[in-house]
Amino acid sequence: MAKQIKRRKRKTKKSSHFQPPSTTEKRHKWILLSAIIVCIAIAGLFWMKYFSGPDEKSQKTKLRIDSTTGPDISVLTDEEKIAALKTEQMQLAQQLLRDFPGSDATVALVGSVYEQHGNNIEAVKFFNKALELNPNRADVYSALGWIAFMKEEYEEAITLRRRALEIDANLPGLRSAIASAMMMVGRHTEAIEQLEQNVQFFPKSVHSHFLLGQAYLQQKDYENAKKHYKRAIELDKNHVNAYYGLFTACSRLKQQDEASEYQAIFKNLKAEERKGLKDRKVAFDDAIEMQKAVAETYMHAGKMYQDQGKPEKAQDLMERAVALEQKNTLYLMELASSYGMSNRMTEALEVHKTISEIEPQNPVCFLNIGVISAQLKRFEDAEEALLTVIKLAPKESSGYRLLAQLYLEAQRNLPKTRELAEKALAFEATAFNYFLLGWACDVNGDTADAFSALKRAVELDPKNPKYQQMLMYIKEKELIK
Amino acid sequence: MTPVYFKNFKTEFKQLIIVFLMMLYACVYTHANSSIVFRDVTEETGITFKHTDGSSGKRYIVESVSAGLALFDYDRDGDEDIYFLNGAALKGAKYVSAPKNALYRNGGGWKFTDVTEKAGVGDTGFGLGVAAGDYDNDGDPDLYINNYGPNVLYRNNGDGTFTDVTKRAGVANGHKVGAAAFFLDMDKDGDLDLFVANYLDFTYQNHLMRTSKGIPKYAGPMDYPPMPNDLFRNNGDGTFTNVSKESGVADHKGWGMGGVCADYDNDGDTDVYIANDVAGNFLFENDGTGKFKEVGLVTGLAYDLQGNEHGSMGIDCGDYDNDGKLDFYQTCYSKELATLFRNLGDNLFEDVTMLTGAGAGTLPHVTWGNSFVDFDNDGHRDIFIACGHLQDNVELYNDKETTFAQNVILKNTGDGKFVNVSEDSGDGMKAKLRSRGAAFDDMDNDGDIDVVILNSRGGPTILRNDSPSKGHWVQVRLRGVRTNHDGVGARVKVVAGDLTLIDEVHSGRGYQSHYGMRLHFGLGGRKKVDRIEVRWIGGEVEIFQNISANRLVTITEGTGRTE
């Protein structure tokens, strides 16, 4: 009897406020919850795709550029940074040697990396190897010539530089470099011959005129010395050393008034030069210089892969270059160009935007932004960029042309298109600009002017089918009228 | 029986071998020995001095530019003694005993004895430059040491000892980074005044270190403010007055290093030419009364041919082309040619380095002590250049340059050109060290000039001149009476047949060093001297005739005779 009572007491009491759900009800709740989660996810994706602004996209791209394959050197001391960069640069060089065996360009690049590191012994080995692979490398002969010069092997320097000249007579600075080596060993007459020849090829070579002044001065031909120093300052009015030469030549010619004048200018320019030199010394940052050098190697390497049809690898390397030298707009342009060639237009656009932040007065980057935004159907972005082009370069045709084209293609702001097209035409009377004008006139109801413009377009470019088609269309319209 | 032809063959073969060996010997001998030969006799001398730069790894700039040395006959026994400057512990460096300067007495026969303690000249300051001169005209040379820190004037007591009279003389010159020092009679009043070059305004607080490709290296002079130089007028009573301002010298700030006092314009007074490190050199033209005008630019001595300043280190003067005008030679940093300035007359100079080959061997090196010396007595002054990098690890970031370097000897060919004969001038030129000051005198009184070099962070190099084919020579020592006792500033002209040579007595020259108060003239094949003219500074001109060669001639002012 007691046990039974106990059993009865164990039974759970049922509350009047709580009713446990049935199995079916539970299932419905789970389904509902899942549906809600899915909806939220879809909404989020939808929002990110269509409503997230360019800043977020560029942030993504920037993050992509920053977090490239290289190590994070920002946390290192300067010494550690430089050591890490040197290692990275050498590793890249080794990788290039593996990926491009037998390539003289690669071998020469590795040689220049060693030269940058001050290891001229290895540099010379690689330069010589590059010449074995391709004896027509004038730049390599020139580099070897420089090393020989600094080791006082002047005859060798002359020979190497002459070899470079035989390969590429237009390589700038070679004849001057040969002449410099000749003067080091007192062969001034020959040096003058070299330099006189050089100014025939390069009449605006400041350095050649300066060296001629120097050579003539040493030969005591003060009139010719003066003539060439003067030419140097005509070409470069701030050439400090040419003023020194002029002061010296005039002193020798006993032209004291002129000598004093040139002396005064020399002193002022020298003072400025020294100030600039001191500022540069103070500002010199070894780590940053190393970063620049490594960035350059990455950029060269990137172009090698680009040329070999490996754009992804090329872009990886270029991104690293840009990460190391973030304000180098040349590198950014190369990267954007590479993206463009791979049809990675969004990335290309972000890079151009970065350039525009660095060079806000440069119309070219805004032009690129406009063109790419238009391709990506981002009308407002394209319009804003092209308006900026017009503002920055009001006398250039391109801004007006592209904006007119944008409006016409998007069928927006049509009343403005005629004026834009006319302005484009005023600055550049090309067939395309006539075509645009014709199109603009047509959409604004002026068929007659449209016809005239298109007729001109066809005259200028008779083989363009688009112009022909448009002209026919306008003709028919006129006839119907 | 031996066949006849075989006997003949043996004889002829032996003869051939002998001829071959003779030719081989001639080739080897000729190759190993140009007309200038130096033998390294350091080990034989007993000199144990070791230079220390006081470094502690912090790369304080003063470490890299230490130091000069002096050759002078402190005890007037007829041979040149050696005084080496030493560094001192800089912040962070510790030594068991403080490094000090060292005086070695020349005992003859290339034996030297350390007499530093006895003489009382073991200054423990951070030595940079030194000059010797009899500032009190009591008949023996005194010493002035230009330090990083207070400078020191040691008065020679005449008994083998010196007394530190700096305070009394008033020439401590504060706490500056010194460089060269010179005694000169700037106002021609018969006593020696003192020109003190200053390098730069360095303190531990403004110290900085640079790197190249991540490798630590010494900062350069432009990282520190420039300093004016100091000029002290001798009051004639053992004291000096600082006349830097009124003389015009203090108007110009630079990074002074070596230099030389010489009558560049041959107007009878002593001018001062100071090398500036990474700035135009200063030429202070004396108006004869101790007022100076800086004329480096207008004379062509401030910059090289192109108008570029050098990292100038040392300067010496001599008439390399025997045209009766003093020329100058300036050493400098690497990637720059040590520069020969030829005196054109009319107070103008021209950089003729490339035309003459006088920069050969110097481009990859940092060059320091130097001099125009006729080492082979052929009548033409050659050039010796001490080399050694300023940086102690340069190979790590530029293997075109080396920390340790061979010195350079350029032989004067007699037609206005120089040839680098370093490789063929004996074992004395083979050593690769980090040389700084170099001094040149006839250390063994055998009629040719020897070389003593101070090497940074090491022992010195003593080179005995063993040049084989020597010409005749004459040495001239001056004793002033109305002018200063050592004849400092006097100009001497020696005429021997068709050869005319000039020189001046200098106190302080080259790279922050002192040497050569006994003037040496090589005469080539000329066996006698027709005439010696002495133009005493601020005094008369005396002429002496028909002097035999190959001897030391002592000329005392006003006596009219030679000894």
Residue B464 is inside which H or E element, if any? Answer: strand B461-465
B398 and A186: CB-CB below 8 Å? no
Residue closest to A438 by CA, chosen among A418, A424, A414, A416? A418
Structure tokens at A124: 């010379």
Q: Are residues A286 and B306, on separate chains, in Cβ contact within 8 Å?
A: no
Taking the Cβ of residue A292 and every Cβ of chain B, the question of whether any pair is shorter than 8 Å is answered with no
pTM of the model: 0.86
Measured between CB atoms, does A281 come within 8 Å of chain B? Answer: yes
A86 touches chain B (CB under 8 A): yes
Interchain CB distance below 8 Å, A286 and B348 = no
In the sheet that holds B472-479, the strands lie side by side as B519-524, B472-479, B551-556
Q: Among B248-252, B340-344, B395-399, which is the least confidently predicted range?
A: B395-399
Q: How confident is the model at residue B27 (pLDDT cuts 50, 70, 90)?
A: very low
DSSP A245-313: HHHHHHHHTT-HHHHHHHHHHHHHHHHHHHHHHHHHHHH--HHHHHHHHHHHHHHHHHHHHHHTT-HHH
Return the pLDDT at B538.
82
Query: CA angle B42-B44-B49, nearest 5°?
Result: 50
d(CA B209, CA B50): 26
Q: Express each pLDDT in B425-475 by its tens digit.
A: 999 999 999 999 999 999 999 999 999 999 999 999 999 999 997 799 999
The secondary structure of residue B219, as a DSSP letter, is P
Q: How far is CA A29 from CA A33, A40, B93, B485, in A?
A: 6, 17, 81, 118
Question: Is there a contact between A290 and B213 if contact means CB atoms under 8 Å apart?
Answer: yes
| Mean pLDDT value across chain A | 89
pLDDT digits (tens, 9 = 90+) for B279-328: 999 999 999 999 999 999 999 999 999 999 999 999 999 999 999 999 99
The residues near A339 (Cβ < 8 Å, ≥ 6 apart) are A315, A345, A347, A348, A351
Min Cα separation B249/chain A (Å) = 19
Residues 6 or more apart whose CB falls under 8 angstroms from that of A104 comprise A130, A131, A133, A134, A137, A140
- Residue B422, pLDDT > 70, answer yes
Q: Looking at the complex, does the CB of residue A152 fall below 8 Å from at least one CB of chain B? A: yes
Sign (positive/negative) of CA torsion B329, B330, B333, B336? negative
CB B418 within 8 A of CB B403: no
- Residue in A151, A185, A286 closest to B400 by CB: A151
| Secondary element (H or E) of residue B340 | strand B339-345
What part of A 195-214 touches B (C-beta under 8 Å)? 214
Q: State yes or no: pLDDT of B44 exceeds 80.
A: yes
Helices A206-218 & A222-235 angle (0-180, nearest 10): 160
Q: How many CA atoms lie within 13 A of A126 on its CB side?
A: 22
A191, A183 Cβ separation under 8 angstroms: yes
CA distance A370 to A383: 7
Examine the pLDDT at B116 and tell me if it is beyond 60.
Answer: yes
- Among A73-87, A267-281, B236-250, which is the least confidently predicted range? A73-87
- What local confidence, expressed as pLDDT, does residue A48 receive? 57
- ipTM summary value: 0.91
Report chain A residues whose CB lies below 8 A from the CB of B355.
Answer: 186, 188, 218
Task: In whole angstroms, give the CA distance from residue A262 to residue B416.
Answer: 31
Residues A231-266 pLDDT 10s: 999 999 999 999 999 999 999 999 999 999 999 999
Residue in A89, A244, A266, A281 to test binding to B, most B beta-carbons within 10 Å: A244
pLDDT for residue A53 is more than 90: no
pLDDT(A60) > 60: no
* pLDDT of amino acid B24: 52
Calculate how close chain B gets to A388, using CA atoms only, in Å: 42
pLDDT surpasses 80 at A408: yes
Closest approach of A163 to chain B, Cα-based (Å) = 23
Task: Say whether pLDDT at A49 is over 60.
Answer: no
| Confidence band for B531, pLDDT divided at 50, 70 and 90 | very high
Which residues 206-235 of chain B have a CB within 8 Å of chain A?
Answer: 210-214, 216, 220, 222-223
CB contact under 8 A, B211 and A214: no
> With an 8 Å Cβ cutoff, is A248 touching chain B?
yes
For residues B57 and B92, is the Cβ–Cβ distance under 8 A?
A: yes
**Given an 8 Å threshold on Cβ–Cβ distance, is B357 in contact with A185?**
yes
- Nearest-Cα distance to chain B for A398, in Å, is 45
Q: Which two tokens stand for residue B150?
A: 């207070």
Chain A residue whose CA is closest to B347: A251
**Residue B73, both tokens:** 């006959």
Per-residue confidence (pLDDT) for residue B12, from 0 to 100: 66
* List of residues 6+ apart from A11 with CB closer than 8 A: none
Which of B213, B347, B387 has the highest number of chain A CBs within 10 A, making it the mutation to test binding with A? B213
B341 pairs with which residues across the strands?
B328, B351
pLDDT per residue over B241-284, tens digit each?
Answer: 999 999 999 999 999 999 999 999 999 999 999 999 999 999 99
Put simply, the chain A residues between 438 and 457 with a CB less than 8 A from any chain B CB are: none
B98 touches chain A (CB under 8 A): no
pLDDT value, residue A16: 42
pLDDT in tens, A363-380: 999 999 999 999 999 999
Tokens, residue B489: 């500033």
Interface of B with A in 300-319 (CB under 8 A): 300, 303, 305-308
- DSSP single-letter state for residue B256: E
Distance between CA A425 and CA A401 in Å, rounded? 8
A218·B356 Cβ contact <8 A = no
- State which residue of chain B sits closest to A276, comparing Cα positions: B222
pLDDT the model gives residue B173 = 97
Lowest mean pLDDT: which of A436-440, B26-30, B486-490? Answer: B26-30
- Residue among A152, A251, A263 minimizing CB distance to B348: A251
Nearest CA distance, B408 vs chain A (angstrom) = 14
Q: What SS3 state is found at B544? A: strand
Asked whether A315 and A331 are in contact (CB, 8 A), the reply is no
Interface of B with A in 511-540 (CB under 8 A): none
From chain B, pick out residues whose CB is under 8 angstroms from the CB of A244. 303, 306-307
pLDDT of residue A2: 39
Q: What does the pLDDT read at residue A27? A: 73
pLDDT score for A26: 65
- Read off the pLDDT of residues B471-500 as tens digits, 9 standing for 90 and up: 999 999 999 999 999 999 999 999 999 999
Question: Rounded distance, CA B3 to CA B469, Å?
Answer: 48
How far is it, in rounded angstroms, from Cα B440 to Cα B517? 10
B279 touches A at CB < 8 Å: yes
